[in-house]
Structure 1
Amino acid sequence: MPSLSSHSIEEAHRAMQRRWGHEAFRPGQEAVLESLLEGQDVLGVMPTGGGKSLCYQLPAVLADGFVLVVSPLIALMQDQVEALQAQGIAATFINSTLPGYKVEQRWTNAEYGQYDLVYMAPERFSTEVFQARAERLDVSLVAVDEAHCVSEWGHHFRPDYLEIPDAREHLGMPPTVALTATATPTVRQDILELLALPDAVEVVRGFDRPNITWSVFRTDQKWARLRAVVDAVPGTGIVYVPTRRDADRWQKRLDAHGVTAAGYHGGLGAETRERRQQAWIDDDVRVMVATNAFGMGIDKPDVRFVVHMAPPSSLEGYYQEAGRAGRDGEKAHAVLLYQPTDADTQTALIEASHPTAEEVRMVYDAVCSVGQVPVGSEPDGPLAVRLDAVLKTTGFSRTKVRTAVDLVDRQGAWTRLPRRKHFGLLRFSTSAREAREYADAVGNRALAKFVRTLLRTIHADAFGKWWPLDLRAVERRADLSRDRLRAGLRYLEGQGLLHWRPPGAALQVELSFPRASKLPVDDQSVQSARQRAETRLQYMLRYARSVACRRRVLRTYFGEEADQQCGACDVCLGRHQPTAITPEDEPLLRRILEQAAASVPREEWRGELSAPPHRIEELVEWLVEEDYLAVKNPLDGAVRVTEKAENWL
């Protein structure tokens, strides 16, 4: 059977023209494809909107077998699959939104060669159905999308990605392409090690976005600056804000200013979010005011500006969000509005979302106590507790409690069960044969039909463990109302046929072992996670405060060579008002120059200089503008004295 390596780059180019209508490859695509066609593993780092998906979709139409795409973006899989199907490409997805019988059917179809691409969430690797079928699947290529998720230095870590090396062995070690838009050298090394791709070809392209004007404005007059951007730059834009409340507030101010705007955040219903997103894509709404819940997978090429009302938590996140501007190659603007107190907000968010080992234990104990589980005991089924009760018991923030619950899950002390509006949890107390015998023997025909429908709908795993049951699927197949369905499940539970947990509990976990008197917590990993978050924030704030060329800072951060000046960012264009300097500042200016001349690191200056940090930053900026200091390293803010400064000293 012909493999991917039996095809040439010329064939790939012709297939691209025929299927997608593109005349030429984008930067990086050809290099990725050439290596894959030679049977090599590849790590591809390409900018947001740079055409990463073509790097695995094109091989899917060339080779026999199918491409297995590992993606964390469950909410977007259906859209991606529908777009491929509209092009005549056979594609499907497999994730937790599907009932068990559909999962089984799609794997069967894949086994018999009915698909070109199968999108799959990484959590599926650990399921019995995947592991039972893996050796029979003809996978021509494994594509790992959003590959930075494998690294704890990436900006949203997904531990399920660590299952990929074992899964590749089960699949017979097909070639693998790992793709991401934002990966520093550290993250790239992590990806190669954790995905076990030691010989992979690295293709890193396009962190430079020359059509984007990068600007940072340090101001407490953010509304005036935002107004200036939307008034001066025609076209659609995105305004990113830190909180849901901010999204509502800034959207109302823009509307009052005569700018059509919509708010978008995780607190809105799915239909509302989809409706607002589509209105923005269709240009019925000019500006989307959103939290970072918005933007993943959105491919609107003509976004003319992206404004951040405050620094996000990492430079990776900022680059990804700001990079949604100007995907059509035309001029666009990425603007960050910053004031010193914004750093306090992000620091507080890190504190709220990174519990200590002792705080993790307190959350574990609180969940067990609220659920009335004594030390040494283990409940028979999932533990359903109200999150509000856990918050009240611990006194912690909602974010900190949720993070602690996830950490306990990651350590294997319990399994956090998904909470979804239409999904309950079911586990049969009998075998499948006994359940069928019950249906055959029961005198009530309607009840017998209901049991048989239930058996056709649930996954085989439901006979050994708790399984999420999609009530909508059962309603359709059994032609029952939700109330009658619930009543039927309660009746069967009373008959001893199954156990049932309806949807609605705020937090559901299944303990892996009896409640511990003192849960062992890996304190080092907990602290390391916090240190990583603090380091990422530090680099973000350095960008905001930097007196160096913005493009140079960004490209250096992602491991690229860069010119000293781009000539187009706010720093290079000299858009900032110079700091007012008085004779009283001269002693402090001299001390700054002396520290720089002695090569004292910037973080140690505060002990030597009696001035607020923001004033030191202002004076350093003035010294750079006046050619007394030059930026040596844009990432750590290191500076060196110039000949002019040496003469003055």
Structure 2
Amino acid sequence: MQQALDILKKYWQHDTFREPQEEIIRSVLDGKDTFALMPTGGGKSVCFQVPAMIKDGLCLVISPLVALMKDQVNNLAKRDIKAIALTGGISTDELSDLLDNCKFGNYKFLYLSPERLQADWVIERIKDLPINLVAVDEAHCVSQWGHDFRPAYLKISALKKHLPHVPFMALTASATQRVQEDIVKQLGLESPALFKKSFARENLAYMVFETEDKLLRIQQILTKNPQPSIIYVRNRKACHDLSGQLQSLGFSATFYHGGLKEKEKEANMQAWMKEKAQVIVATNAFGMGIDKANVRTVIHIQLPENLENYYQEAGRAGRNREKAYGVLLVHPSDINIGKQQFLEVLPDKKFLKEVYNRLNSFLQIAYGEGIDETYPFNFNSFCQQYKLPAAKAYNALQFLDRQGILTLSQQFTEKVTIQFIIPSKEVMRYISLNPADEEMILAILRNYAGVFDMETPLNSTLITKKAKVSEETLTNLLERLAQKGVISYRSSGNDSSITFNEVREDEHTINRISKFLEQQNDIKISQFESVVHFVSDKDTCKSRLILNYFDEKENTDCGICSYCITKNRKPVSPLDSANAILNLLKDTSYNSKQLEELLGLTPQDTVFALQLLMENNRITLNTNNLYTLQ
């Protein structure tokens, strides 16, 4: 293995492998099919990149994530390793030229999506390449029982028949036992060497806190732990809002989401990486390829969709093996909100059929036509025209994309972008002089906190609904404001494009894929129920709940999660609690939840202490439900 260590040191500047990287690399070099289940941060990419560098020829990497492909190609380029990614939007001629480059250009890595394998001519060209290893990343997508199953992955087993002497490697960060077995079967791996790293993170404390005031709790956590932190939120607006609130509280904070321009993404990420910002508030678009060892805290302020995603995101804390925290803040209403966001927007067969038929009508595609055609597509106009609920319709389109029926372009953004370029007081002056425009402008200001600071994508359907005006009225206003120098305004006309990979066949198309839809919906419901169980279970160690979910049986409590700390906490003296409450109330008034969180008491301890103080006439409850000194 000395050669592997030399490669590691030369290109990655590491002297030793992490367990079990060395064993995985040895398996690949011995020509064996290999399955590697390594939780996030375990260094999966090195497991196929190092042996590929040792072997003559080219490593074929199959991945469903364009962002991950681009990130790995860029990282390899920084190490002077030649790699190429065949992502979407590349014409057939250009694709053919790039494959020629792979054959004659001394490349070491070829990244492509599983959908590329749908074209027989691509497989024929790959057969002629000097492939030394096939690495299947995010391999859980090959299993019908895995999250984000993609039928295109099933074509990989056909590729195996064409490359009988080439070792295949499956890699994933999260897969239950059932999914692992299905991956081996679907990829046709032959007596694979199996490597499973434990999901246990001994230094990571999973903390679930019920709270009425999440901002107050975040303030307490960040003050107590001033090291680098990530806060995951659900949408782009929340990124801007929360980072602004944290800045107003004195924290250095930035934000990251998929709607930012590449330059701004990079600037914000570097501000956090270089610790000019303590906190980065982000959607789940953040994290791909991020390797910052000293993240102390990862906070989720809404319920995640599934424990697979939560484990990966929380796992970005504590990679330096020092004590770290994965914090999940839960409000009593969060479970119902989660159901609305994740479950009520799942399309059933009837709705999927409606979206597919409406889409063909919207784009004027005749029955039996449309294959390999690309159409400009405005998602907002589509939903508005047919009165479709946007989130549910988008999920239906994503499902059609994953099934390979169509390809939705990656540039799926709002069609209108604006920024106010005059101060806010001047905007208020404009409103006073133009009262007819007030509702529309106020709707924009209420829904887009960062619209004075940067170019902001505008959901015109949302604004027209809030202001009770037509799309045409809003467009006329934006054009007037731009002419008067109040805003900068760009309209791209269409916010996306759709390429049809099959001819229009209506019932036949939907009937063929509907069984996968029902199965995926059942999986998503089950996954969300597991999240609800994770936050609701008050009698089990949180680390054990995570491990058991991934079929890793553990009977020992971790000793550091929120459950273990509560269980091991010494009984609190009611007198001490009462005195602590009196000290806090000297400065200002608080409700019971605020007192509970500020003092780190249980609800029962707080109620008991408050009753004691009330009975002794030391405190009183005012009309705002705030406790004050008597």
TM-score (structure 1 length as normaliser): 0.70
What code does the residue aligned with 2:406 have?
Answer: T
What does residue 148 of structure 1 align with?
Answer: 140
What does residue 74 of structure 1 align with?
Answer: 66
Which segments of 5 or more consecutive residues in structure 1 lack a partner in the other structure?
Answer: 1-8, 423-501, 581-620, 623-649
Measure how far apart 1:42 and its partner are: 1.1
Matched residues in 2 for 1:191 and 1:503: separation? 42
Counting only pairs closer than 5 Å after superposition, residues 102-113 of structure 1 correspond to structure 2 as 102-112=94-104
What does residue 530 of structure 2 align with?
Answer: 539
Measure how far apart 1:24 and its partner are: 2.2
What code does the residue aligned with 1:559 have?
Answer: D
Q: Is 2:412–2:495's contact at 8 Å kept on the other side of the alignment? A: no
What code does the residue aligned with 2:341 have?
Answer: L
What code does the residue aligned with 2:232 have?
Answer: Y
What code does the residue aligned with 1:508 have?
Answer: I
Question: Structure 1 stretch 256-265 or stretch 29-38: which is displaced more?
Answer: 29-38
Measure how far apart 1:59 and its partner are: 0.5
What does residue 593 of structure 1 align with?
Answer: none
Measure how far apart 1:166 and its partner are: 1.3
User: Residue 296 of structure 2: SS of its match in structure 1?
Assistant: strand
Matched residues in 1 for 2:199 and 2:19: separation? 11
Q: Does 1:96 align with 2:88?
A: yes
Measure how far apart 1:315 and its partner are: 0.6
Matched residues in 2 for 1:514 and 1:74: separation? 27
Q: Deviations over 1:51-70 (max 9, x none)?
A: 11110111012111121112
Q: Does 1:309 align with 2:301?
A: yes
Counting only pairs closer than 5 Å after superposition, residues 171-182 of structure 1 correspond to structure 2 as 171-182=163-174
What code does the residue aligned with 1:37 have?
Answer: L
Q: Does 1:158 align with 2:150?
A: yes
Matched residues in 2 for 1:366 and 1:352: separation? 21
Measure how far apart 1:344 and its partner are: 1.2
Q: Is 1:261–1:285's contact at 8 Å kept on the other side of the alignment? A: yes
Question: Structure 1 stretch 354-363 or stretch 96-105: which is displaced more?
Answer: 96-105
Counting only pairs closer than 5 Å after superposition, residues 465-476 of structure 1 correspond to structure 2 as none
Q: Evaluate the alpha carbon distance shift between residue 259 and residue 97 of structure 1 in structure 2; reply closer, same or farther with a 3 A threshold.
A: farther
Q: Does 1:251 align with 2:243?
A: yes
Matched residues in 2 for 1:99 and 1:272: separation? 29
What does residue 170 of structure 1 align with?
Answer: 162
Q: Is 1:352–1:399's contact at 8 Å kept on the other side of the alignment? A: no
Matched residues in 2 for 1:350 and 1:301: separation? 31
What code does the residue aligned with 2:166 have?
Answer: P
Matched residues in 2 for 1:154 and 1:520: separation? 21
Matched residues in 1 for 2:274 and 2:214: separation? 28
Q: Is 1:134–1:170's contact at 8 Å kept on the other side of the alignment? A: no
Q: Does 1:231 align with 2:227?
A: no
Q: Is 1:362–1:394's contact at 8 Å kept on the other side of the alignment? A: no
What does residue 283 of structure 1 align with?
Answer: 275
Q: Is 1:48–1:324's contact at 8 Å kept on the other side of the alignment? A: yes
Measure how far apart 1:173 and its partner are: 4.6
Aligned counterpart in structure 2 of residue 266 of structure 1, from 254, 258, 272: 258
Q: Does 1:222 align with 2:207?
A: no
What code does the residue aligned with 1:31 have?
Answer: E
Q: Does 1:33 align with 2:22?
A: no
Aligned counterpart in structure 1 of residue 382 of structure 2, from 387, 390, 394: 390
What does residue 548 of structure 1 align with?
Answer: 540
- Count the aligned residue pairs: 493
Which structure exhibits the higher relative contact order, with contacts defined as CA atoms closer than 8 Å and separated by 6 or more residues? 2
What code does the residue aligned with 1:536 have?
Answer: Q
Matched residues in 2 for 1:400 and 1:406: separation? 10
Which segments of 5 or more consecutive residues in structure 2 lack a partner in the other structure?
Answer: 414-491, 573-602, 605-630
Q: Is 2:59–2:108's contact at 8 Å kept on the other side of the alignment? A: yes
What code does the residue aligned with 2:498 have?
Answer: Q
Q: Evaluate the alpha carbon distance shift between residue 129 and residue 505 of structure 1 in structure 2; reply closer, same or farther with a 3 A threshold.
A: farther
Question: Structure 1 stretch 160-169 or stretch 40-49: which is displaced more?
Answer: 160-169
Measure how far apart 1:240 and its partner are: 0.7
Matched residues in 2 for 1:251 and 1:283: separation? 15
Q: Is 2:412–2:496's contact at 8 Å kept on the other side of the alignment? A: no
User: Residue 53 of structure 1: SS of its match in structure 2?
Assistant: helix
Aligned counterpart in structure 2 of residue 400 of structure 1, from 389, 392, 398: 392
Q: Is 1:235–1:286's contact at 8 Å kept on the other side of the alignment? A: yes
Matched residues in 1 for 2:196 and 2:570: separation? 38
Measure how far apart 1:101 and its partner are: 5.3
Q: Evaluate the alpha carbon distance shift between residue 163 and residue 379 of structure 1 in structure 2; reply closer, same or farther with a 3 A threshold.
A: closer
Measure how far apart 1:295 and its partner are: 0.8
Aligned counterpart in structure 1 of residue 326 of structure 2, from 326, 330, 334: 334
Q: Evaluate the alpha carbon distance shift between residue 20 and residue 392 of structure 1 in structure 2; reply closer, same or farther with a 3 A threshold.
A: closer
Measure how far apart 1:548 and its partner are: 0.9
What code does the residue aligned with 2:522 have?
Answer: Q
Q: Is 1:367–1:385's contact at 8 Å kept on the other side of the alignment? A: no
What code does the residue aligned with 1:541 have?
Answer: V
Measure how far apart 1:322 and its partner are: 0.3
What code does the residue aligned with 2:562 have?
Answer: D
Q: Does 1:504 align with 2:491?
A: no
Measure how far apart 1:102 and its partner are: 4.9
User: Residue 563 of structure 2: SS of its match in structure 1?
Assistant: coil
Q: Evaluate the alpha carbon distance shift between residue 254 and residue 152 of structure 1 in structure 2; reply closer, same or farther with a 3 A threshold.
A: farther
Q: Is 1:368–1:515's contact at 8 Å kept on the other side of the alignment? A: no
What code does the residue aligned with 1:240 have?
Answer: Y
Q: Evaluate the alpha carbon distance shift between residue 34 and residue 110 of structure 1 in structure 2; reply closer, same or farther with a 3 A threshold.
A: same
Q: Deviations over 1:550-569 (max 9, x none)?
A: 11111222222324311111
Q: Does 1:300 align with 2:292?
A: yes
